[in-house]
Amino acid sequence: MGGMKKLINEPGDVVSEALRGMAAAHPDRLRVDHENRIVYRKDAPTPGKVGLISGGGSGHEPMHGGFVGLGMLDAACAGEVFTSPVPDQMMAATKEVDAGAGVLHIVKNYTGDVMNFEMAAELAAADAGTEVLSVVTNDDVAVQDSLYTAGRRGVGVTVLLEKIVGAAAEEGRSLQEVADLAKKVNDNGRSMGMALTSCTVPAAGKPTFELAENEMEVGIGIHGEPGRQRLPLAPAKDVAAMLVDPVVSDLPYQQGDSVIAFVNGMGGTPLIELYLMYNEVAQLLDRAGITIARNLVGNYITSLEMAGCSVTLLKVDDELVRLWDAPVNTPGLRWGA
């Protein structure tokens, strides 16, 4: 293995310089608090609207900063690469987006994220009297406990949840209603991922794990955590089954269910392969009698430049589909607006 090849300056400056680039690219939609590393919706706070905040380590772009804007998040806190943001960031964001209707924290189930968001909620309540509820996403069926978590990891459902709950908040629903909806989405979503290559964290300068040319890792997390099993490389149709079968049997999804099917790239897999994978996933679901109501294909919750993909299924009813279809205008997701 040679040295690290990335389009960066200093490894320690990657996050702050990327946030400067985001601010420069999207001044119509976003404003960035560079000191606290928070991406805000340009017009936040919106009077009477529940504020929605998420956040986490950087390196998963467009999640979360790319999902700030109309119909999704009001703010996103950026940690260092694969490292949780700190409570001060989250508290500042919570106070800033509180427009009197309260704030919902959308938290992926990683120990640091959960702990720091909890602390931020307590601080914001004590400091400004802000009412905060939180929902923790834990949709990854691959492993029960991992390096970073107690219980299951939060992965692809987070993206779908931010969109659906964002639409509900936009309609003026109450904090409790928005939180209940978030819980419903999390409870009805499951995910599983795989990797063909590791990724390299800029500060580390070397791959997180080694995979031989003829190997793949099934059940990986989004921080380069190892998965369920290391297996010989297989054709896409076999890989699709390895991802879909555990997901379908976990909820379980049944014949007659409608789902949003989300085939997500890990950052280093080209779209031609993601569409090929979507074709395999769609055929598997068709054979299982599961209807795809809506779909999403692309890089939305990534792991730097890791090659690989994940499959997320979200069981939906008419209301969830309507909220999914509602207008959204963010750097990472945009339709109807």
Active site residues: 60, 223
Give the helix, strand, coil percentages of the chain, each rounded to 5: 35, 25, 40
d(CA 298, CA 241): 19
Give the closest residue to 115 by CA, choosing from 92, 93, 94, 90: 90
d(CA 93, CA 111): 20
Map tokens 């003829």 to a residue: 214
Please provide the DSSP assignment of 150-168 as one string.
Answer: SSPPP-THHHHHHHHHHHH
Please provide the DSSP assignment of 32-48 as one string.
Answer: EETTTTEEEETTPSPTT
d(CA 47, CA 169): 12
Give the closest residue to 63 by CA, choosing from 199, 264, 260, 208: 264
Where does 198-316 have alpha helices with state H?
Answer: 236-250, 271-287
> 3-state class of 6 per DSSP?
coil
d(CA 155, CA 104): 18
